[in-house]
Structure 1
């Protein structure tokens, strides 16, 4: 059975149960690129969705805390094969997919950002140019590109990707879940 949209988030902490209370099915991936890639593939195969909507949280020293930002480009902030002569962020010998994965904008009213994905909770300046950071988005984007499914990704900025990021992330999750739910209801 095919559906138009499927919703994916990393953790139940990011939805705070609000989506489920509203009767919305959420597919949770878990943390990190491997979990995200596996879950994105599974969701696309299971639902036959045409659009995978990824809502979640991110850190940023560029965007204000509590902002919703639509990601229009993903990069890998932790892919570093520079000792072999490759630029940071480039996956060697992956000719089919460039280091940057671009997405078409869906929400014209939201600011747009470049998200650096990595398997670490970023508290500094990434090695690749980006203005927000997460731990799953690039992997989801790559799976969607390979399978021909549109990805729409919006991140709620919980923290400044700095030394207090872990505290700010936890403190701002409920407000973020409310804003993401309100945005989701605009889609449906």
Structure 2
């Protein structure tokens, strides 16, 4: 049976069990781009979903902590082949897909941001222009783009992507899970 929307998050700590307690199925990818790409592909193949909705956490020195931000564009903040003459963020020889991927918008009332995805916990300024950072979004967006599946992503800002980010992230997970659940319940 083909479902309309499938929900993907990186970690159970981002949902704090609130989604499951509300009877909502969550697919957890694990941390990083490889895990996220594999899980996104798996979820799309198993559910046949029309839309893959990514809810999760992000750091930002631009948006206020505790804000919900809908991602308008994903870039790779850790793709750096600049010694060979490529711009930072560009995957060489990947002519089918641009360096920037624009998810669709589902929440017109939320502020929009550019999310830099990378396989590191960012605590400084990324090498590519972006105003929030995560570790999975670009990979999920690219899988959806390749498979022709609608993709929407909303991030809860847990921290300032600075030297206290790891502490702020942990401290704000429950607040984020509550806000993300409230948002999700407006979709159904």
Question: What TM bracket, shorter-length normalisation?
Answer: over 0.9
Task: Tell me whether 1:65 sits opposite 2:65 in the alignment.
Answer: yes
| 1:18 counterpart residue number | 18
Q: Which runs of 4+ in 1 moved over 2 A?
A: none
Task: Render the CA deviation track for 1:91-137: whole Å, top value 9, x for unaligned.
Answer: 00000000000122110000000000000000000000000000000
| 1:28 counterpart residue number | 28
Distance 1:40 1:103 in 2: 14
Structure 2 counterpart SS, 1:80:
coil
User: What's the TM-score, normalizing by structure 1?
Assistant: 1.00
Distance 1:131 1:104 in 2: 18
| 1:43 counterpart residue number | 43
Task: Render the CA deviation track for 1:11-44: whole Å, top value 9, x for unaligned.
Answer: 0000000000000000000000000000000000
Task: Render the CA deviation track for 1:44-90: whole Å, top value 9, x for unaligned.
Answer: 00000000000000000000000000001000000000000000000
Distance 2:70 2:151 in 1: 11
Distance 1:140 1:103 in 2: 10
Task: Tell me whether 1:108 sits opposite 2:102 in the alignment.
Answer: no
User: What's the TM-score, normalizing by structure 2?
Assistant: 1.00
Distance 2:13 2:105 in 1: 26
Structure 2 counterpart SS, 1:130:
coil
How many residue pairs match? The answer is: 188
Structure 2 counterpart SS, 1:35:
helix
The answer for unaligned runs of 5 or more in structure 1 is none
